[in-house]
Structure 1
Amino acid sequence: MTATALDVDYVPSYVRGAWWSPGAGRQGTEVRDASTGELLARVSTDGLDTAAAVEYARVTGQSELGKYTFHQRALMLKKLAMHLNAQREELYAVSARTGATRGDSLVDIDGGIGVLFAYASKGRRELPNSTVLVDGAVEQLAKDGSFLGEHIYTRIPGVAVQINAFNFPVWGMLEKLAPAFLAGVPSIVKPATPTGYVTAAAVRMIVESGALPSGSLQLISGPARDLPDHLDYRDLVAFTGSASTAEKLRAHPRIAVGGVRFTAETDSLNAAILGPDAVPGTPEFDAYIKSLVTEVTVKAGQKCTSIRRALVPRDLVDDVVSAAAARLRQRVVLGDPRAADVTMGALASREQLDGVRESVQQMLAAGAELAWGSLEAPDVVRADGSTGTSPDGAFMEPLLLTWPDSDADALHSVEAFGPVASVVGYTDVADAVRLAARGGGSLVATVCTNDPDTAREILTGIAGHHGRVLFLNREDARSSTGHGSPVPHLVHGGPGRAGDGEELGGIRAVRHYMQRTAVQGSPNMLTSLTGIWHAGADRRFDAGHPFRKPLSELRVGDAVRSDLRKVTLEDISAFAETTGDTFYAHTDQEAAAVNPFFPGIVAHGYLLLSWGAGLFVDPAPGPVLANYGLENLRFLTPVAAGDSIRVTLTAKKITPRETENYGEVAWDAVLTNQDDELVATYDVLTLVEK
């Protein structure tokens, strides 16, 4: 098999650093072109040693990934993203066999590559250049500061098993792989059979890139029912697919009682709510119709985030159906995605088509009415440009259903996983909230309104039932990424029926593949374990001014302590006059004395910070290139005229940049007065040459 053509009988697996296929004569599941029914390959894992794959990940994968820091892994993700980006046209060609149009493939392939780029960037900006991630503030556990506690994250010591759905064979893999890899955890990817050949093509490209260490990625193409049998508390299973399969996995002894971490993203009867103010002719109504049609047709409606229930004011049901039908007539050209002008392709397989039709028939029997579209085999554009039926293709027209009874159980429980949406009338906003919640937990809801009060009422009513809520109005309709597009920066998942799991969400997803541990010890011990200086740990004052040291010489704990500087009333008045900050606490003795926080006129906090910089800065050119900010600033004790201050500056955290000739240094800065009382505490952030 190559990235562009299947030239073997079986879709191969990639395990223990090598490609594997079953021997000749093995039985396998047939995989066919969604548009033509052409036999593409067979899928079988007969004879594959899944236990050995798990062990290889735990031993080789863990060992190899453990050699690298977060930043180094992030750069590997960037290299991989660039490699796949250069070859995505080849992936488009393979993806077309699944019935996906170029636009569908862009969502899957470019979307997956975009996740890699996002985590490559976030890993370097938001994680330390180390292998330990500190979580939250230090807790003082002894009055004298000799005993501390804090939480840290380290990678789980096992393997991440990623079981993916058929609808996103590339994005589904990469959106799980990226955070797991960044955390330092090897992955075993198990794609769905109907489109697993696209995943295999992508994995072949990944292997050929040489971007990832040995053992960090394996692929099982085909059934792997015994895979959970070989897992234990060290491992994690991330599942995307049907709720019924998720429940079977949850019940597996290794997961139910064996401690295997498990997260699921499953069926979701997502809603789109049209606000009462969004009447025909408003930008919000237009945005709603556009979103509804997009979600019914992209990937032929085969998305876990697709709009299944369009909740609209009862007197606008006909208007919404009419407007959506008009847009469908205008925009949809159904056919083989390899034909020019086709905008909607086939479902992934004939089996999938049969399942969608069966679900629609079930809803019609429960009271739904077919408002637009047909269940009959449609005429389609064939690959050669001709038009006619495709007996072996998995084509289906978009369908719009209406429901005389908006509380029909089937409306809120049956999902037709295809180009099908129900337009449902509600009486008022409270009723819309109630109907949305009847989905039993959803991945996403869209709300189209320009009324903040309506938006607030809907959000407070439905947020607890949804993982994400998109508000569309005239201000963001053009810039929005859309109802059905999870972004790597935000959480993807939802409660209840949606799986009660969570993926993506920026660095939150990386933590899913890590263990949070409470660590207790002395300041020196915690400094050694985390690489971050803790108050009370040793400082080095006699090793020269730390601002004269490049990163190659600077060490955590290097410090400088200044002499005292006296504050005068003239200094305070001059600062007030030159800055315009004439707040009474700095200019009016009588008024300041009445304030319970001040003893009279006091120095400006920013005057003290400026003096603090003057007390620790070494003025000659040196390794320190720039000051780029302050963090965690607190003013604790007021300073009056006649008091004195000094600063103690300690190298707290050193973060070299892998691709630059400088790094970031966070300095613990403490201002104290002549009585050694704390005046201010803050972190100074600088860029320092290596």
Structure 2
Amino acid sequence: MTSTSATTTATREQGPATIGGIVGAPSTARAEALVARVTTGPGSGSVTVTAPFTERPTAVLPQATDDITRAAFARARRAQPSWATTSVAERQRILLRLHELVLAHQDEGLDLIQVESGKARLDAFDEISATALVSAYYGKHSARLLAPRRAPGVFPLLTRATHIRHPRGVVGVISPWNYPLALTAMDVLPALVAGNTVVQKPDNQTALSALWLHELAERAGLPRDAWQIVLGRGSVIGTAIAEESDYLCFTGSTPTGKKLASAIAGRLTDYSLELGGKNPMIVLPDADVAAAAAGAVTACFSSAGQLCVSVERIYVHDSIRDRFLAEFVQRTRALRLGASLDYRAGMGSLTTAEQLRAVSEHVANARAHGATVVTGGRARPDVGPLFYEPTILTDVTDRAALFADETFGPVVSVYGYTDVDDAIERANDTPFGLNASVWSRDTRRAQEVATRLRTGTVNINEGYAATFGTVGIPMGGMKESGVGRRNGADGLLKYTESQSIAVQHGLKLRPMRGVPPTLWTKALSVGLRVLRRIPGR
């Protein structure tokens, strides 16, 4: 097969009154109003950020210094006790109001996400829906999850034991550029509803999306200073965030995550890290080939592959490999590339010039080591400055950089296999363990395979959205893909300190005066055998 370019749509340019000069984008005045929400102070510098679709400016962003960042933490620390005394019921109501605001104003949110990240509008809607789901989940369930819990005491009726949760204090959140709205919501909102205040550092490239949610949260009733946003390079303000946070939540690269973990370790404070991935998909011999191929297009090329849980490796049983590859290539070639703020495009742009360079180098390196480009494999400046075709490779060997290293772009390698055990072993043969996908008509068999994969999430007959969208269950990585989880009860309770309180009545936990220790221990041993038989003990 030979490479065929995808069909395209292009955007018309418009004057500087719109962000990035993009037709239909919010005005530059609107961007300036959002930027005004950034925490600043004396000595703030600035950077100009550009739109991937046009490489024209989107915003001039103030950059925090170390002192400005520490001052933001000080304000958050002063605000935290009052916020913590706000009832959980009221915190929930704020999140439910935010849920409605996000859905009501989604068109502006979609525009901002597209303008800043370059992704297709349907991929941007994934962020709107995820934000709404997270707001609703914690808006409905936090009081139950945070409520004090009674536990059976050591002596029935005489020991009353209670488990309670305290907010940690001020949570630091460092967010990436690739999912600026969804990951802000998934990390910031549970921290707030748990009674913490938050200082967040979103990436400069996509700061407007985070600031948009910040504005809506305050409209929903969140007190000023409960959530503050600072901007700046990690090399300048990262140390302050690591040193001032009572808990740190980071999403980004594995090397940076390791550095942050080392910096935090000396303070004995806790953290969660979602890091890199090289996510596999296994297509079992009985899979619906057409469905698996369609699912692979979404799993590999949503957000132009710039998604931590997107698939970069596909293992297909040899009995269906040719049929799968033909179907997959056909559907991939049908993807429409586009740079307009509507739903016409199937795939958008890469977000930064660095990502375009990294993707191009990975594909060139694979070619140089014998890989076959089945479709795609080239930049598309005719569509926009940072576009790259969705790319499928075969014959990739371990000499190629992308064989084991995360590409984080619209590139996937397809491999054959004859034995399922071998496919599982190859899927697990990576330092990463973030997400995986298994396809089969026999879901029981697929679940057996899923339990053998060393990844934090596994999706059966889906690429990533089933677990990503089910916000009531935890999401995170094994091995070098991270520590800790977001979403579900885990994503809320990690932002709390656990405290156990027991009240003892009557009988003491040592022999009473005049009772020999031998008699006491024998009596207690009988009691322990009885307690073992009591349900719930």
TM-score (norm 2): 0.82
1:520 equivalent in alignment to 2:502: yes
Displacement of 1:497 in angstroms is 2.3
1:239 equivalent in alignment to 2:221: no
Once residues 243 and 502 of structure 2 are traced to their aligned partners in structure 1, the CA distance between those partners, rounded to angstroms, is 27
Once residues 84 and 447 of structure 2 are traced to their aligned partners in structure 1, the CA distance between those partners, rounded to angstroms, is 46
Once residues 470 and 298 of structure 1 are traced to their aligned partners in structure 2, the CA distance between those partners, rounded to angstroms, is 16
Superposed counterparts of 1:20-99, under 5 Å: 20=40, 28-47=46-65, 49-60=68-79, 62-97=80-115, 98-99=117-118
The aligned residue for residue 271 of structure 1 is 280
Once residues 339 and 518 of structure 1 are traced to their aligned partners in structure 2, the CA distance between those partners, rounded to angstroms, is 53
Displacement of 1:409 in angstroms is 7.1
| Deviations 1:369-397, CA, capped at 9 Å, x for gaps | 212112243543xxxxxxxxx4xx21010
Q: Which amino acid aligns with 1:272?
A: M
Once residues 245 and 382 of structure 2 are traced to their aligned partners in structure 1, the CA distance between those partners, rounded to angstroms, is 52
The aligned residue for residue 403 of structure 1 is 395
| Deviations 1:12-53, CA, capped at 9 Å, x for gaps | 3646xxx54777xx7533311111111222334245611111
Pick aligned residue for 2:148 from 133, 147, 163: 133
Once residues 148 and 234 of structure 1 are traced to their aligned partners in structure 2, the CA distance between those partners, rounded to angstroms, is 34
1:468 equivalent in alignment to 2:457: yes
* Segments ≥4 residues shifted beyond 6 Å: 8-11
Displacement of 1:151 in angstroms is 3.1
Once residues 102 and 230 of structure 1 are traced to their aligned partners in structure 2, the CA distance between those partners, rounded to angstroms, is 33
Once residues 233 and 364 of structure 2 are traced to their aligned partners in structure 1, the CA distance between those partners, rounded to angstroms, is 30
1:120 equivalent in alignment to 2:139: yes
Q: Which amino acid aligns with 2:217?
A: I
The change in CA–CA distance for 1:44 and 1:293 in structure 2 (over 3 A counts) is same
| 8 Å Cα contact 1:233-1:261 kept in structure 2 | no
The aligned residue for residue 483 of structure 2 is 500
The change in CA–CA distance for 1:37 and 1:450 in structure 2 (over 3 A counts) is same
The aligned residue for residue 301 of structure 2 is 297
Q: SS where residue 304 of structure 2 aligns?
A: helix
Q: Which amino acid aligns with 1:305?
A: V
1:261 equivalent in alignment to 2:244: no
Displacement of 1:187 in angstroms is 1.1
Q: Which amino acid aligns with 1:488?
A: V
The change in CA–CA distance for 1:319 and 1:150 in structure 2 (over 3 A counts) is same
Pick aligned residue for 1:12 from 35, 45, 50: 35
| 8 Å Cα contact 1:291-1:482 kept in structure 2 | no
| Deviations 1:472-506, CA, capped at 9 Å, x for gaps | 2xxxx7xx9836734211111011121133111x2
The aligned residue for residue 427 of structure 1 is 418
Displacement of 1:165 in angstroms is 1.0
Q: SS where residue 300 of structure 1 aligns?
A: helix
| Deviations 1:180-199, CA, capped at 9 Å, x for gaps | 11211111111112111222
Once residues 377 and 404 of structure 1 are traced to their aligned partners in structure 2, the CA distance between those partners, rounded to angstroms, is 23
Q: Which amino acid aligns with 1:500?
A: V
Displacement of 1:233 in angstroms is 8.8
| Deviations 1:516-559, CA, capped at 9 Å, x for gaps | 123232369xxxxxxxxxxxxxxxxxxxxxxxxxxxxxxxxxxx
Bigger share in helix: 2
The aligned residue for residue 491 of structure 1 is 474
Q: SS where residue 456 of structure 2 aligns?
A: strand
Displacement of 1:202 in angstroms is 2.7
| 8 Å Cα contact 1:359-1:414 kept in structure 2 | no
| 8 Å Cα contact 1:268-1:305 kept in structure 2 | yes
Gaps of 5+ in 1: 279-283, 381-389, 525-636, 638-679, 683-690
| 8 Å Cα contact 1:236-1:513 kept in structure 2 | yes
1:355 equivalent in alignment to 2:358: yes
Q: Which amino acid aligns with 1:67?
A: T
Superposed counterparts of 1:316-335, under 5 Å: 316-330=320-334, 332-335=335-338
Once residues 245 and 43 of structure 1 are traced to their aligned partners in structure 2, the CA distance between those partners, rounded to angstroms, is 23
Once residues 68 and 244 of structure 2 are traced to their aligned partners in structure 1, the CA distance between those partners, rounded to angstroms, is 21
The aligned residue for residue 338 of structure 1 is 341
Pick aligned residue for 2:175 from 150, 164, 184: 164
Query: Pairwise CA RMSD of aligned residues?
Result: 3.0
Displacement of 1:443 in angstroms is 1.9
Once residues 104 and 43 of structure 1 are traced to their aligned partners in structure 2, the CA distance between those partners, rounded to angstroms, is 25
TM-score (norm 1): 0.65
Once residues 333 and 49 of structure 1 are traced to their aligned partners in structure 2, the CA distance between those partners, rounded to angstroms, is 44
| Deviations 1:205-251, CA, capped at 9 Å, x for gaps | 333x1511232211112225435436569711111111111112112
| 8 Å Cα contact 2:114-2:121 kept in structure 1 | yes
Once residues 377 and 187 of structure 2 are traced to their aligned partners in structure 1, the CA distance between those partners, rounded to angstroms, is 37
Q: SS where residue 49 of structure 1 aligns?
A: helix
Q: SS where residue 113 of structure 2 aligns?
A: helix
Displacement of 1:456 in angstroms is 4.8
Q: SS where residue 305 of structure 1 aligns?
A: coil
Q: Which amino acid aligns with 2:270?
A: R
- Which of structures 1 and 2 has the bigger CA Rg? 1
Once residues 376 and 96 of structure 1 are traced to their aligned partners in structure 2, the CA distance between those partners, rounded to angstroms, is 19
Once residues 366 and 474 of structure 2 are traced to their aligned partners in structure 1, the CA distance between those partners, rounded to angstroms, is 31
Displacement of 1:92 in angstroms is 1.6
Bigger share in strand: 1
| 8 Å Cα contact 1:100-1:299 kept in structure 2 | yes
| 8 Å Cα contact 1:442-1:467 kept in structure 2 | yes
Once residues 297 and 172 of structure 2 are traced to their aligned partners in structure 1, the CA distance between those partners, rounded to angstroms, is 35
Q: Which amino acid aligns with 2:148?
A: L
Displacement of 1:412 in angstroms is 4.6
Q: Which amino acid aligns with 1:396?
A: Y
The change in CA–CA distance for 1:38 and 1:403 in structure 2 (over 3 A counts) is same
The aligned residue for residue 482 of structure 1 is 465
Q: SS where residue 238 of structure 1 aligns?
A: strand
| 8 Å Cα contact 1:99-1:345 kept in structure 2 | yes
Once residues 164 and 400 of structure 1 are traced to their aligned partners in structure 2, the CA distance between those partners, rounded to angstroms, is 30
Once residues 92 and 456 of structure 1 are traced to their aligned partners in structure 2, the CA distance between those partners, rounded to angstroms, is 35
The aligned residue for residue 106 of structure 1 is 125
1:155 equivalent in alignment to 2:167: yes
| 8 Å Cα contact 2:133-2:469 kept in structure 1 | no
The aligned residue for residue 146 of structure 1 is 158
Once residues 21 and 366 of structure 1 are traced to their aligned partners in structure 2, the CA distance between those partners, rounded to angstroms, is 52
Once residues 194 and 359 of structure 1 are traced to their aligned partners in structure 2, the CA distance between those partners, rounded to angstroms, is 23
Higher relative contact order (CA closer than 8 Å, sequence separation 6+): 2
Gaps of 5+ in 2: 1-17, 20-24, 507-529
| 8 Å Cα contact 1:10-1:22 kept in structure 2 | no
Displacement of 1:259 in angstroms is 1.4
Q: SS where residue 30 of structure 1 aligns?
A: strand
Identical amino acids, percent of aligned pairs: 27
Q: SS where residue 431 of structure 1 aligns?
A: helix
1:285 equivalent in alignment to 2:289: yes
The change in CA–CA distance for 1:86 and 1:286 in structure 2 (over 3 A counts) is same
